[in-house]
Amino acid sequence: MDNRTNTIAGWVLAACVAALGLSIVGGMIFLGHSEPEKFGYPVEGVETGGDSGPQVAPIATRLAAADAAAGEKVFNKCTACHTVAQGAPNGIGPNLWGTVGEEIGHGKRGFAFSDALASHGGKWTFENLDEWLMSPRKFAPGTKMTFAGLSDPQDRADVILYLNQHGSNLPLPAPPPPGATGGDNAGAAAANEGAANETGAQENAVELNMPPAKTGQQPTPDR
């Protein structure tokens, strides 16, 4: 009886030792391979990372296709707080007659603007109005304006055109050429500035009886 018990115990012990050995060997084999940097398989034609949101056309491009009548309909959302007619009183928000081109957060017959807007600086350009209408709280954090904003870029352009026709009538910016990058006429502004510098260089060269500078060549500043 004792021999049989010893035999069984021996086989159990041997089985345990064998299992432990296999476990150690398996762990060594598994850990011998480096962990991949990324799991899964790459899919061709799919880009990862970056902003995949739709690109919004510059405000100048959208204004060229804007519809003031459509802007009036969108502006109906604002009439609970704003008036737009000349001489109309301020409401919860200021009267918006002649707003395009005005100084941000000032005027409007003493309307009490928030400190966030009054200290913003600058004027209500087409670009600033576009950013403001998209998200007032992002444009001027701390503003008292509770309106969440207009998510549709063309709606914003329509409203801006509508406002421009009420007391401002500023000339609309020229849309950038197709394929231009930079957004909101940044490239066009740089091109205009370069053209102005070149014209000034040509005129100075004529006054000083000097040969005109070649295109793209900047005059050497006085030191």
At 192-217, the pLDDT tens digits run: 444 444 444 444 443 434 444 444 44
Task: Give the domain ranges of the chain.
Answer: 59-164, 179-211
**Residue 114 and residue 92 in contact, taking contact as beta carbons nearer than 8 Å:** no
Cα–Cα distance, 100 to 162 (Å, whole number): 10
Residue type, 21: G
| Mean pLDDT to the nearest integer, 172-196 | 59
| Mean pLDDT to the nearest integer, 59-78 | 96
pTM equals 0.59
Helix (H) or strand (E) holding 3: helix 2-31
- Sign of the torsion formed by the C-alpha atoms of 84, 88, 92 and 98: positive
- The string of pLDDT tens digits covering residues 34-58 is 555 554 444 444 344 444 467 999 9
Q: How confident is the model at residue 80 (pLDDT cuts 50, 70, 90)?
A: very high
CA 200 to chain centroid: 35
Cα–Cα distance, 204 to 198 (Å, whole number): 10
% pLDDT > 90, the chain: 52
Domain 59-164 carries which CATH code?
1.10.760.10
